[in-house]
Amino acid sequence: MRYVLIGNSAAGVWAAQILRSLDKESEIIMIAQEAVPAYSRCLLPEYLAGLKKKEDLYIRSHDFYKNNNIQTLFGQRVDTVDAYKKEVILQDNNRIAYDKLLIATGASSFFPPVPGLEGNGVFGLRNLEDAQNILDACRNARRIVVVGGGFVGLEAAYALYKRGHEVTVVEKLSQILPQQFDEKAAQILQADMQAEGIRFILGQGIKEVVSPGLWSRLFGDKGKGVILEDGQRLKAEVIIVAAGIRANTDLVKDTGMKITRGIPVNDYMETSIPDIYAAGDVAETRDIVTGEVGLTPIWPNAAAQGQIAAYNMAGQKKAYGGLIGMQNAVEFREVPAIALGITRPSGDAYQVLSDYVPQKNYYKKLVVQDNKLVGMILVGDINQAGFYGAFIKSKKDISPYLQDIMRKDFSYAYASN
Amino acid sequence: MSNCQTCAGSDSCYSAHNSTNEMYDYTKKMGVETIFDRWEAQQPQCGFGMQGICCQLCSHGPCRITAKAQVGICGATADTIVARNLLRLTIHGTAAYSHHLEEIIKTLKATAQGKTPFKIGDEAKLKAVARVIGLDEGKSVNELAVELADILLNEMRKGSEEPLALLKLFAPPSRQEAWEKLGVIPGGVLSEVRDALTKSMSNIDTDPVDLLLTSVRLSLATGYMGLVGTITAQDILLGSPSLAESKADLGIIDPETVNIVAHGHVPLVATAVIQAAQDPELQEMAKAAGARGINVYGSMCTGQELMQRSGSSAKGYAGQLSNWLSQEYYIATGAVDLVMMDMNCSIPALKTMADNFHTKLVSVDKIVRMQGVEDHVDYDPEKVEEQAKQLVKMAIEIYKNRGDKINIPAYQAKAVAGFGVESIAGALGGSLAPLLDVVKQGAIKGIAAVVGCTNNRNGHDTKGLEIMKELIKNNVLVVAAGCMSSAAEIHGLMDPKAKDLAGEGLQAVCKMLGIPPVLNFGSCVDIGRIGVVVTEIANALGVDPSQLPVVASAPEYLEQKAVADGIFAVAFGLLTHIGPVPPVTGSELVTNILTKDIESLTGGRVLVNENPKEAVAEMVAHIEAKRKALGI
Amino acid sequence: MRQIMIDVHRCNGCLTCTLACASAHSLSQSIVGAMQEKTPSRIQVLSAKGKVVPLMCRHCEEPACVVACMSGAMKKDSKTGVVTNEGTGQSCVGCWMCIMACPYGAIKQHPTEKTALKCDRCSHREVPACVEACHEKALSFVEVNEYANKREKKAAASLVDEQG
């Protein structure tokens, strides 16, 4: 038996680890485009801020692959998959046969189609190389514009602010973190970062990026001009694009595999083609709270999916209980926040419990539907997150707890016998 | 442990004393739990309590200050809770000392009226005090004694607004000035206790600084009534201490006599019992029961009181057995027939131990009661002669039940007792001047009062003895009182031979005068006697006590009287080393005031250092600084 | 494999376990020292309407926190079964993913460092400090048999429907 895993991040590494624990004999081959051991891309902002060295980003010890007897083909790009012959074809035309294949190729930064948003000084932040390029470019930079007020954008903004740069975050929507948090939570987090000195421009998209004219360049002004929708003009030496991601599905586009925004998988992480599994940011799964199928590009989900894929690849039928797609934990400056599940409900079906004390950077919001907890936002005090999360995941009837559930001491003690 | 000698028969090392360690092993083999086992069973102890940040006053509580709850339910901060808890400890100490004093006053008056078996023991002191107070010296001794007793009783009971007369008469004026500024000069002691108790109720006085000042105020009431007042009246009644040689440790127990142990702090019934034991009729009775005679030993401070008067009212005293931590073990020798417990420091575990033997426990003060103890001979001055005889007879009866389970560890030490202003001056030819001269010359660098309880937190007597030995090595004369005095006796530090452990200068002085390097000042109430000596020295030099090369250390303080003593020493202007760390560390404010800020107000401060060598180094540095400032 | 078992009916809420825990993880190795160092406790004593429940990490068979950890710091030791984010080769960065993942709420933010704080089952000691300190024997460190193990798991599952 030979397992081939394409991708060497959360899903890929966890899959390899579990596969090896279940199957001591078979061959495991990991192929990855990046020529480095598995690292945590979530830590890239820490690396950008200078808080971590490259070696600190690795999520497994240096002998992980050796100890688990995993063959690695790192720095190799997979061109395509021949599902009929059950072979992976590398860019150098080498073919690698597989019995079971895992696609854990992740995703790439999405660059919106804005004129001039390319070339020197314009970066996404997705992998180690991006981060190294940003650091190089920042060496002579003063002003930085971050395009996108989502999680990645804000992390990058705060990291570079910490390095001493002037940072402006431009977000098209009217609040930061529009995917996970509601307006109240976003305001607390924004105020916290603003107090530090990061500038925000909300409700404005970017119309165009113009390179400095000849005249400016002659006088040593390298900064590009970022022109916003309302005509406002920002100067920046470095522009970071954090406007979302696109799943890396190119390698399977000719296989006949069903592809939507990503690769849809069933509860066993199986794609529409036998013996090919997908997990992580490239896979589309069903969110257990909303019931919707979609990408869930966050680390814990990728890790869990990698594990489930491994069990099934090794022949142990194990269903993916489903995770909550919409979830994230953040702490940019000193206010931690967590959002999980349905945080901005619309319609009469939901009951919203909330406690909002912005002057103390405190906000708690619980969303209840049919006596079940379906979403939460915690800002300022996140210690109850796991316990609330357990209620959301278990879909337990919360009516016995309804009058206590908002309490700051509501805890496992209420539920244990 | 650093004080550990070679323990011949002992497997354990809980105590600095061989006898205690051996008895611990012995009781352990018997299957009886004692202090060290109980201490271990209590570990770990609650950090909230240890830091003083637990409040149990109201039924919203108990509240404790945690990271999550920075104030109590009422809003009390850690500062308030710590200061209030400390005040409550001080109140307890003050009240207990007052009880002792009142017993003495009543006895003094009854004695002057001829209603007790006692005789006025020190007429000279009575007259001297009468002179200072302004009584008519032409009156008879008994008349003066009655008047003095009435005055003292009035001092106890008058209002808190009337300044305490004893303080006004006996405290150095420079001290009074400092206390006046702080508004802490107390009035009648009982009124002060009432006020302080009221203040420390929930939600009356919640200002940590005022609560601390109230503790200082109570400590002054303690100092000049409970301490100085008590020792003065006690000296007048039972005689001032005189130098006498005595013995200490469990090895002095005679297995062939009827053995009575006087245990506690108020030496009245005990003195009467010692006197009664000489009664030929009772001696005969003892012999008829098969004993060679009757011995009265001491434990705790009652023993210390008897020892320092073994040349006068307590003639016949057989010696000191133990201090607080080792009290169970004298019973465990199997050779103690009766323990008479007067006020303070009789632990409930005595009864447990007594139940393993024939030993009878009897309370001899109406306020002492112990679960399981049914024999009470509550002190009554007018009946004490009969009560004493009754107790001796009880002991003889019980002696008849003594079993053969006798185990007396073979350790004993010689100890000189009876130091005080009068006895020192007497030995020096009538004045303290020769002592001051050797201090000025530097043979003795200074004086350290090592006083107070014994405490297992740092090993029984271990820290205290190490501190004493380190001090004398540094040529600091040690005066000891209370359980620390017992520790020094048993350890041989109060034997003139201990001079060899002292530094060169102190050694020479000890040799010349034939005294030990650690002077036995008696019981814990004799901290007042130390205060009197320091006052005399200050007056002789014309300086304030805070300027003297004098320090205090309570290295193993245990209970509430010691808290009042400690605060008194600080108020008196002394650098006061206290161990273990008192329960105040939960409040930065209180800790800072006691260890730093108060020095600018009273000249004294608390020194906390649990390392004996380091603590002594700091004390010696303080002494050197004071010497330098005085130009000596 | 030994586990810390909790008998909630015996707990009287004295918090001694929290002090012992802090002490065992402090520089001074003493309770008062730990309070002064501000060493936090890793065991919580939760309360719910008069009921007191001591709670520390259950060192789950399939720990959600380990899966959620994006720095690789949180690991479960295959020999001891201990789940910890300390001394595992990778360092915790305080992303709080584990806090979000733990169904018991047994992981907390470290009060002074940007790391997640949890029970390490006193890896440096024979018996965990909280167990040793418990006067009421509400905590015990015992070999867990299959039955108890299952029961424990079932109890957790009633609240937390873990994936798989």
Which phi and psi (to 5°) does residue B363 adopt?
-90, 140
CA angle centred on B360, ends B355 and B365, rounded to 5°: 120
Q: What is the pLDDT of residue B3?
A: 43
Q: Compute the average pLDDT of residues B271-293.
A: 97
Interchain pair C32, B67: CB under 8 A? no
Report the candidate in B314, B349, B331 with the shortest Cα–Cα distance to residue B259.
B331
| pLDDT tier for residue B2 given thresholds of 50, 70 and 90 | very low
Kindly give, in sequence order, each residue whose CB lies less than 8 Å from that of residue B592, ignoring residues fewer than 6 positions away: none
Q: Among all residues of chain C, which has the CA nearest to that of B49?
A: C32
Q: What is the pLDDT of residues B388-400, one digit of tens each?
A: 999 999 999 999 9
| Chain C residue with minimum CA distance to B68 | C111
Interface test with C, best of B40, B45, B70, B588 (most C CBs within 10 A): B45
Q: What is the pLDDT of residue C49?
A: 77
Name the burial class of residue C79, with classes exposed (0-12), middle (13-18) and buried (19+) by CB atoms within 10 angstroms of its CB: exposed
Does the pLDDT value for residue C162 go beyond 50? no
- For residue C15, which residues of chain B lie inside 8 Å, CB to CB? 46, 48, 64, 66
pLDDT of residue B464: 96
Distance from C-alpha of A166 to C-alpha of A173, rounded to nearest angstrom: 22
CB contact under 8 A, B44 and C16: yes
Question: Given this model, what pLDDT does residue B1 score?
Answer: 38
Structure tokens at B227: 């301490």
SS3 A278: strand
C20 vs B contacts (CB less than 8 Å): 44
The answer for C 57-86 residues in CB contact with A (under 8 A) is: 64, 67-68, 70-72
Yes or no, beta carbons of C15 and B45 under 8 Å apart: no
Count the helices and strands in chain C (H runs, E runs): 6, 8
Percent of all residues in chain C with a pLDDT value above 70, rounded to a whole number: 88
Rounded CA separation A180/A194 (Å): 20
Q: Determine which of A151-155, B11-15, B571-575, C154-158 has the lowest per-residue pLDDT on average.
A: C154-158
Query: Taking an 8 Å Cβ-Cβ cutoff, which residues of chain C contact chain B?
Result: 14-16, 19-20, 23, 31-32, 34-36, 38, 40, 111, 133
Name the neighbours of C, counting chains with at least 3 Cβ pairs within 8 A: A, B
Give A-chain residues touching C161 at CB under 8 angstroms: 321, 393-395
pLDDT at C9: 86
User: Looking at residue A324, what is its pLDDT?
Assistant: 75
Yes or no, beta carbons of A386 and C99 under 8 Å apart:
yes
Rounded to an integer, what distance in angstroms lies between the CA atom of residue B332 and that of residue B25?
A: 11
CA A288/CA A395 separation, integer angstroms: 9
What is the mean predicted confidence (pLDDT) over B240-256? Answer: 97
Give the one of A320, A384, A391 whose C-beta lies nearest to C163's C-beta: A320
Q: Mind telling me how many Å the CA of B47 is from chain C's nearest CA?
A: 6
The pLDDT score that the predictor gives to residue C147 is: 55
Size of interface B-C (CB pairs under 8 A): 33
Residue B277 near residue B260, CB atoms below 8 Å:
yes
Contact status, residue B338 vs residue B362, Cβ threshold 8 Å: yes
Q: Which B-chain residues 99-158 have CB contacts (< 8 A) with chain C?
A: none
Cβ–Cβ below 8 Å for C19 and B51: no
Distance CA B612, CA A70 (A): 61
Task: Compute the mean pLDDT over every residue in chain C, rounded to the nearest whole number.
Answer: 87
B62 touches chain C (CB under 8 A): no
> Nearest residue of B to residue C41 by CA position?
B67
Which of helix, strand or coil describes residue B55? strand
> Do the chains contact at A300 and C163, CB–CB below 8 Å?
no
Where residue C148 falls among pLDDT bands split at 50, 70, 90? Answer: low
Could C100 and A382 be called an inter-chain contact, meaning their C-beta atoms sit closer than 8 Å?
A: yes
Judging contacts by C-beta atoms under 8 Å, the chain B residues touching residue C36 are: 585
Nearest to B50 among C14, C32, C133 (CB): C32
Q: Supply the pLDDT for residue A211.
A: 83
Please name the amino acid found at residue B335: A
pLDDT at B512: 92
Residues B161, B187: Cα–Cα separation, whole Å: 6
Contact call for B47 and C35, based on CB within 8 A:
yes
Q: CB-CB: which of C89, C95, C107 is closest to A386?
A: C107
Q: Does C5 lie at the interface with A, CB-CB under 8 angstroms? A: no
Contacting residues of C for A391, CB less than 8 Å apart: 159
Any idea which residue has 């017992």 for tokens?
B486
Write the residue in A43, A307, A416 that is nearest to C93 by C-beta.
A43
Weakest mean pLDDT among A326-330, B331-335, B582-586, B587-591: A326-330
Position B46 confidence tier, pLDDT thresholds 50, 70, 90: confident
Residue C54 contacts A, CB cutoff 8 Å: no
Smallest CA–CA distance, residue C41 to chain A, in Å, is 14
Token pair 């210390």 is found at B304
Taking each helix axis as running N to C, give the angle between helix B462-473 and helix B483-490, from 0 to 180 degrees, rounded to the nearest 10: 70
Place of tokens 């309302």: A230
ipTM: 0.89
pLDDT, tens digit (0-9, with 9 covering 90-100), for C67-80: 999 999 999 998 89
Q: Is the pTM of this model over 0.95?
A: no
Residues of chain A with pLDDT under 70: 214-221, 322, 325-326, 417
C-beta separation of C39 from C31 below 8 A: no
Which DSSP symbol is given to B226? I
Q: Is C51 on the interface with A (CB under 8 A)?
A: yes
Tell me the average pLDDT of chain A. Answer: 92
Judge: A389–C103 Cβ closer than 8 Å, yes or no: yes
Q: What pLDDT, in 10s, does the model give residues B78-106?
A: 999 999 999 999 999 999 999 999 999 99
Task: Flag whether pLDDT at B412 surpasses 70.
Answer: yes
For residue A88, give Cα distances in angstroms to A78, A119, A262, B478: 7, 32, 19, 90
* Closest CA relative to residue B165, chosen from B184, B144, B181, B187: B187
Q: Which of A179, A104, A211 is nearest to A342 (CA)?
A: A179
For B108-153, write each residue's pLDDT tens digit: 999 999 999 999 999 999 999 999 999 998 999 999 999 999 999 9
pLDDT at B427: 86
Interhelix angle B141-157/B189-199, nearest 10 degrees: 20
Choosing among B38, B54, B56, B66, which should be mutated to test the C contact, i.e. which has the most C CBs within 10 A? B66
Strands A372-379 and A336-341: antiparallel
Q: How far is CA A339 from CA A231, A304, A362, C92, in A?
A: 34, 19, 14, 21
* Interface mutation vs chain B, best among C31, C44, C117, most B CBs within 10 Å: C31
Q: To the nearest 10°, the Cα dihedral for A176, A178, A181, A187?
A: 30
How far from chain centre, in Å, is Cα B266? 11
pLDDT, tens digit (0-9, with 9 covering 90-100), for B430-468: 899 999 999 999 999 999 999 999 999 888 999 999 999
Confidence of residue C65 (pLDDT cuts 50, 70, 90): very high
For residue B66, which residues of chain C lie inside 8 Å, CB to CB? Answer: 15
